[in-house]
Structure 1
Amino acid sequence: MLLNFFVLSFADLKKFNYYYWFAFPAPSKPTMHLREICSDIKSHLDTNQLNDLTEGFKLLDDAQKAFFAVVKENNRVKVKTLTDILNDTKGVKKEVNMQEIYLVFADPSNSAKPGWPLRLFLAALLDHCPDLVNSDIKIIGLRCNITGGIEHSLVFNIQMPQEIHPMEGTGWVGWEMNEKRYFGPRLANMSASMDPKVLAETSSDLNIKLMKWRLVPDIDVEIMKTTKCLLLGAGTLGCHVARDLLAWGFRHITFIDNGKVSYSNPTRQVLFNYQDCLSGGRKKAEAAADNLKLILPTVNSKGIAAHIPMPGHPVGESLKDETVSNIKFITEAIAEHDVVFLLLDTREARWLPTLIAAHYGKIVINAALGFDSYLVMRHGVCSSSQEGAVSIDNSCVPGGSLGCYFCNDVTAPGNSLKDRTLDQQCTVTRPGVAAIAGALAVEILVGLLQHPLRVEAPAIYNSNNDSNDEQNMQGVLGPVPHSIRGFLHSYQTVVPTCTKFKQCIACSDIVIDLYRKEGIDFLLKVFNSGTYLEQVTGLSELHLTAEMTDILTFSDEDD
């Protein structure tokens, strides 16, 4: 009865949190003192006596093993129950000499101090035997090891108090402290083993963990979890990229798209289903974010319905406020994320995010599709001092000097949807092209994040697999190309590399400086004129100087 305890508990079953607070009650008085430092039991009992104590302890009934007594007789030891030495009512039996008796308690402590049960034992002993006041008694703290040995037990010499007080006025102590050393409940969070969402999160990382354990021990798993990805476009490319990001361990994915899910989408765009097409169709960005959570509930995904303003698409007064609002949405989103994926239908839709990402120095991964071809590339992120730089031996281009999607162009993007029927405005591709391009876009990002130079990772200029320099440029997952062009009709892939173009209409210093200086006013000029970018970057003069008549025939503004 002395070893009773209380426990207050509460189970928060929704969050799999279990709160519990133990109390091992003991009276605050009387106060006892250790007469001397505890001593080893071997200094009191020899080997034979220890054996006697061990055997006698084993023969005791389980209800008696917590508290009992030991008496030395003729160099031997006898184990006695408390009933053998105490009267039924009060006091010690007359024939018992307490100076020859060791009181024993099962001691749970593993330090030099006695365990909590001794406090209860002595309080109960004084209550039953008031004549023990102001006396010394010997206590054995019995400590059994795994094999049943008691050689680690300790002997305590206790000085009983000089007077005792009525138990009715005694206070009680014994509430356990929590991990913060305050009196309060402890928490057992069982979500890791019981919450299906947490189990799904843990299990989804199994492939990457096996990759690290078995194949690529130097891979940084955590960087994928903390990298925030912004996907501009939630169509065929956006859906494939999102799924591959999820498989690589990325957990922050945001979609921007202003389209709605149509009946033709679910068979190609893998994040949508038939239900998303009903009632006019859900917004693609929102549906993609929600359906991503159905695959992995712990992913941090959201969708933003916004239109991306484009060069050559004039903005009238009626659309000006909406356009300015969309620009702010896109700008804030790019600033908040680490990586921007350009997965849009048209060339001109990629211009604004390319410029803003260059302004903020963000990683940009671009993917574009043809009928049976694709382009996947990363944009250079650097200062202007590295523009156009190539390594001394022309073997590679530093990561900061790589060109963007528009660096190979000598014309500004125009309205590619002008005078086209609805079926002509739709991107028509072989079904496998988007899956291939989406996968390569994610692999380029992962290779970049795992490279020791990160965004400064160089791209091979003249590829030579036997080159030592090329091997030195490799990251954990190998070299990171600047761009990948694939041709499905011939099943061929090439990896061209190009440097920044100082007159680029998207990432050149001229354009970025004008954007920083004029802001939205500069953007509105670009949207309202298909030739403004060519004028400010000097491309118009370049056309006249070089007499590039053939190139001008392919201009988007040419009727």
Structure 2
Amino acid sequence: MAASENQEGIIQYVPFMSFVHPSFWHSLTEMKLDVDKLNENTKQIWGRFTYRSSIGAVFEVDGTSFNKVPENEQLYTNIKGTIMNKNTIEEFKSIDKAALLNSVGKELWASLQDKSWISKPSSLLKFIILSFADLKKFHYYYWFAFPAPSQPTVYVKNKSANITTQFDTNQIAQITQSYKSLELEQKCFFAIVKNNDTIQLKTLSDLLDTKDGLQKDVDVSSTYFVFNDPSSGDNPGWPLRLFLAALLEHCPSLVGSEIKVIGLRCSATGGVENSHSFTVVVPKDVKAVDAAGWVGWERNDKGNFGPKLANMSSSLDPVILADTASDLNIKLMKWRLVPDIDVDVMKSTKCLLLGAGTLGCHVARDLLAWGFRHITFIDNGKVSYSNPTRQVLFSFQDCLNGGKKKAEAAADGLKNILPTAVSKGIAAHIPMPGHPVGESLKEETINNIKIITEAIADHDVIFLLLDTREARWLPTLLAAHYGKIVINAALGFDSYLVMRHGIAGSPPEESPSVGTAFISGNSLGCYFCNDVTAPGNSLKDRTLDQQCTVTRPGVAAIAGALAVEILVGLLQHPLRINAPAVYNLNSDTEDVPPEMQGVLGPIPHSIRGFLHSYQTVAPTCAKFKQCIACSETVINKYKEEGITFLLDVFNSGNYLEEVTGLNELHLSAEMTDILTLSDEDED
């Protein structure tokens, strides 16, 4: 019988419909930001399909598609594919789609010439995703292709029929059981041989000669070629197109004949009773695959050949969106500008901000921008009507009903900006030297000391952002005792000081000679190392303007930003808190040896700025052996006496000078002045 007779028509394959789970876009976003960056190389991914009676030939990808090994789910067929994610929308649009598909198709076909598909039938199927991810808007442009040759053209005889017309109930049950026992790699394409009432499932390796054609004992008239069919209609699914092309290429004897085909459609229970049988008629003048072009680009929702758009900004959890997008700036830095930057160290570093005023608010906002997520505030004040215009975490609502507590309001303000921030506020008063503690305040003071001590011990970085000099003494001592990173910022009317403290417990070096280029991190001085007097009550007998920190509005913003930048530079330095500070640091850092620099450059000890002249200097100073806050003497005294020592300091403005020997230093200086004056008189 001629191939052109009794033909129903050219076979119509049911194309795949892609379905992309939201988790796929999450994984692609993470991969692009953290791994691929500017790399546009193709990446291997996995997709899968199964038969569904209600929705047709759906091909799925999800968050697990990027796994090296596919997730094996019952009744699903896993297919290996590639994704080509472009850096710009212009590249995505301009690429020659037909040429791309042809090149991929030819590579696929060339790889099948080694006949490996016979032992691994699933390798016949491939897919491509061409994509562009707009990570600012969470818009994902994508286009699926399922490469298949346009030839050979074959025909289907009569209409498809249910498998029950070819096999009885027992045979169908036998097929179901045998199919379940097949290895995963063989379930995509195989064969059923029917001899009278006996049924036998054979792999393609059993059926085909690895060199050429069918095995000698194969009877085509009793053999059904089987493929996993995702189609739910009368026409066969797309996988048959590749299967027939490979079969006819490998078995020239099938040309001009009829081939029995079964589209295996497994129900949710694993039964195959929904499967369909087809009789495929192969014409004698069939064209070879090599002479054909390749097809397979998916149609979009409008029925045209074109890409699709996934707008995930409306369907993803807005909290997740905010958290992902908030790190975009830092990850983009890592792509091209600072590839060695450690993004994760910021996320895991716990910051304690002592002071939730103008400085505290600015520092907290900058910490968020750098990717810090653990931020705690300590402040005993309340939000007043004068605060929100300068203190950027507060609003008018925070001032009502007597004002919310600043620490709590600041923490709430941070979480309103970024809900995934881990932030809390602690209302506590910081006891200060020279501010006597009477019996009535003793219990409250001891409780505040315990709260502050526990908070400093639980955090990695301590920011001193307080109004007065004496308020910085206790946290400086405690942070030195626990070996914490300390970043200090202090404001004047039009000037500021930002500095990092050295490490307590390390012996201070002698004052360096003129030729010394740097001071090691363990020998840097603290905020009090330049003073030779103990802090006293600086608020006593002061007017309102003298009690408040009155500054030009820009000073706090500048100082807060620099405080955070020093911390980030420190965390990105291989020596961390031990990072050295270079003398005479200026804009030309080329003279600074590489070992002195971190990923973000050299890190100063301190920065002093003067807004009236728009000048900045970066002085460096060593530890002072008789420092009233970080010296060995003071720390040992605290270790030995604890709260008793602290109460003595609070009750007496001169106690620290006695402990550290500053009194003797003062007397020595006065005696020198007297002797010098006497000499001048004699002259």
What's the TM-score once normalised by structure 2's chain length? 0.59
Quickly say closer, same or farther: Cα 1:460–1:108, change in 2 above 3 A.
farther
1:404-457 deviation per Cα after TM superposition (whole angstroms, max 9, x unaligned): 000000000001111223342111111111111111111111111111221111
Structure 2 counterpart of 1:515, one-letter code: Y
1:467-494 deviation per Cα after TM superposition (whole angstroms, max 9, x unaligned): 6444541221111100011111111111
1:279 aligns with 2:393: no
Residue number in structure 2 paired with 1:409:
531
Structure 1 counterpart of 2:532, one-letter code: V
Offset of residue 109 of structure 1? 8.2
Map residues 109-508 of structure 1 onto 2, 5 A cutoff: 111-114=184-187, 132=197, 140-142=225-227, 145=239, 148-150=242-244, 194-381=316-503, 383-385=505-507, 387-388=509-510, 390=512, 393-463=515-585, 465=588, 468-508=591-631
Q: Tell me if the contact between 1:262 and 1:277 (Cα under 8 Å) persists in the aligned partners.
A: yes
Quickly say closer, same or farther: Cα 1:511–1:193, change in 2 above 3 A.
farther
Looking at structure 1, the residues matched to 495 and 158 of structure 2 have their Cα atoms a distance apart, in angstroms, of: 86
Offset of residue 134 of structure 1? 9.1
Secondary structure of residue in 2 paired with 1:276:
helix
Offset of residue 148 of structure 1? 2.7
Q: Tell me if the contact between 2:354 and 2:462 (Cα under 8 Å) persists in the aligned partners.
A: yes
Offset of residue 116 of structure 1? 12
Secondary structure of residue in 1 paired with 2:627:
coil
The worse-fitting range, judged by mean Cα deviation, of 254-263 and 217-226 is: 217-226
Q: Tell me if the contact between 1:233 and 1:342 (Cα under 8 Å) persists in the aligned partners.
A: yes
Looking at structure 2, the residues matched to 453 and 352 of structure 1 have their Cα atoms a distance apart, in angstroms, of: 26
Q: Tell me if the contact between 1:389 and 1:499 (Cα under 8 Å) persists in the aligned partners.
A: yes
Secondary structure of residue in 1 paired with 2:242:
coil
Q: Tell me if the contact between 1:388 and 1:402 (Cα under 8 Å) persists in the aligned partners.
A: no
Quickly say closer, same or farther: Cα 1:6–1:56, change in 2 above 3 A.
closer
Quickly say closer, same or farther: Cα 1:466–1:211, change in 2 above 3 A.
closer
Q: Tell me if the contact between 2:580 and 2:596 (Cα under 8 Å) persists in the aligned partners.
A: yes
Q: Tell me if the contact between 1:505 and 1:537 (Cα under 8 Å) persists in the aligned partners.
A: yes
Q: Tell me if the contact between 1:107 and 1:142 (Cα under 8 Å) persists in the aligned partners.
A: no
1:514 aligns with 2:637: yes
Secondary structure of residue in 2 paired with 1:330:
helix
The worse-fitting range, judged by mean Cα deviation, of 540-549 and 515-524 is: 540-549
Quickly say closer, same or farther: Cα 1:86–1:141, change in 2 above 3 A.
closer
Quickly say closer, same or farther: Cα 1:469–1:374, change in 2 above 3 A.
closer
Quickly say closer, same or farther: Cα 1:412–1:141, change in 2 above 3 A.
same
Looking at structure 1, the residues matched to 351 and 597 of structure 2 have their Cα atoms a distance apart, in angstroms, of: 24
Looking at structure 2, the residues matched to 248 and 210 of structure 1 have their Cα atoms a distance apart, in angstroms, of: 12
Structure 1 counterpart of 2:317, one-letter code: D
Residue number in structure 1 paired with 2:232:
none
Looking at structure 1, the residues matched to 664 and 171 of structure 2 have their Cα atoms a distance apart, in angstroms, of: 115
Quickly say closer, same or farther: Cα 1:202–1:265, change in 2 above 3 A.
same
Offset of residue 107 of structure 1? 11
Unaligned residue ranges in structure 2 (runs of 5+) = 1-49, 56-71, 77-116, 122-151, 202-221, 229-237, 248-267, 272-311, 674-683
Offset of residue 522 of structure 1? 0.6
The worse-fitting range, judged by mean Cα deviation, of 210-219 and 311-320 is: 210-219
Quickly say closer, same or farther: Cα 1:22–1:494, change in 2 above 3 A.
closer
Residue number in structure 1 paired with 2:652:
529
Q: Tell me if the contact between 1:376 and 1:440 (Cα under 8 Å) persists in the aligned partners.
A: yes
Looking at structure 1, the residues matched to 180 and 314 of structure 2 have their Cα atoms a distance apart, in angstroms, of: 35
Q: Identity, % of aligned pairs?
A: 67
Residue number in structure 2 paired with 1:31:
none
Quickly say closer, same or farther: Cα 1:548–1:145, change in 2 above 3 A.
farther
Secondary structure of residue in 1 paired with 2:244:
coil
Q: Tell me if the contact between 2:489 and 2:499 (Cα under 8 Å) persists in the aligned partners.
A: yes
Quickly say closer, same or farther: Cα 1:39–1:433, change in 2 above 3 A.
closer
Q: Aligned pair count?
A: 448
Looking at structure 2, the residues matched to 41 and 382 of structure 1 have their Cα atoms a distance apart, in angstroms, of: 66
Secondary structure of residue in 2 paired with 1:148:
helix
Quickly say closer, same or farther: Cα 1:441–1:5, change in 2 above 3 A.
same
Looking at structure 2, the residues matched to 39 and 213 of structure 1 have their Cα atoms a distance apart, in angstroms, of: 43
Looking at structure 1, the residues matched to 531 and 374 of structure 2 have their Cα atoms a distance apart, in angstroms, of: 33
Q: Tell me if the contact between 1:372 and 1:429 (Cα under 8 Å) persists in the aligned partners.
A: yes
Offset of residue 234 of structure 1? 0.2
Looking at structure 2, the residues matched to 489 and 520 of structure 1 have their Cα atoms a distance apart, in angstroms, of: 43
Q: Tell me if the contact between 1:343 and 1:368 (Cα under 8 Å) persists in the aligned partners.
A: yes
The worse-fitting range, judged by mean Cα deviation, of 413-422 and 105-114 is: 105-114
Quickly say closer, same or farther: Cα 1:135–1:367, change in 2 above 3 A.
closer
Quickly say closer, same or farther: Cα 1:209–1:307, change in 2 above 3 A.
same
1:359-406 deviation per Cα after TM superposition (whole angstroms, max 9, x unaligned): 011000000001111100000125423545759940111111100000
What's the TM-score once normalised by structure 1's chain length? 0.71
Residue number in structure 2 paired with 1:542:
665
Q: Tell me if the contact between 1:216 and 1:476 (Cα under 8 Å) persists in the aligned partners.
A: yes
Q: Tell me if the contact between 2:190 and 2:226 (Cα under 8 Å) persists in the aligned partners.
A: no
Residue number in structure 2 paired with 1:187:
none
Secondary structure of residue in 2 paired with 1:486:
strand
Looking at structure 1, the residues matched to 332 and 119 of structure 2 have their Cα atoms a distance apart, in angstroms, of: 51
Residue number in structure 2 paired with 1:158:
none
Offset of residue 204 of structure 1? 1.1
Quickly say closer, same or farther: Cα 1:86–1:524, change in 2 above 3 A.
closer
Looking at structure 2, the residues matched to 408 and 214 of structure 1 have their Cα atoms a distance apart, in angstroms, of: 41
Unaligned residue ranges in structure 1 (runs of 5+) = 8-20, 26-37, 43-53, 69-81, 93-101, 154-171, 176-189, 551-559
Looking at structure 2, the residues matched to 372 and 209 of structure 1 have their Cα atoms a distance apart, in angstroms, of: 35
Structure 2 counterpart of 1:327, one-letter code: I
Quickly say closer, same or farther: Cα 1:227–1:56, change in 2 above 3 A.
same
Q: Tell me if the contact between 1:334 and 1:357 (Cα under 8 Å) persists in the aligned partners.
A: yes
Structure 2 counterpart of 1:283, one-letter code: K
Looking at structure 1, the residues matched to 598 and 431 of structure 2 have their Cα atoms a distance apart, in angstroms, of: 37
Looking at structure 2, the residues matched to 4 and 466 of structure 1 have their Cα atoms a distance apart, in angstroms, of: 65
Looking at structure 2, the residues matched to 296 and 471 of structure 1 have their Cα atoms a distance apart, in angstroms, of: 37
Offset of residue 213 of structure 1? 1.2
Quickly say closer, same or farther: Cα 1:134–1:281, change in 2 above 3 A.
closer
Q: Tell me if the contact between 2:508 and 2:624 (Cα under 8 Å) persists in the aligned partners.
A: no
Structure 1 counterpart of 2:628, one-letter code: I
Q: Tell me if the contact between 2:362 and 2:560 (Cα under 8 Å) persists in the aligned partners.
A: yes
Q: Pairwise CA RMSD of aligned residues?
A: 4.1
Secondary structure of residue in 2 paired with 1:194:
coil
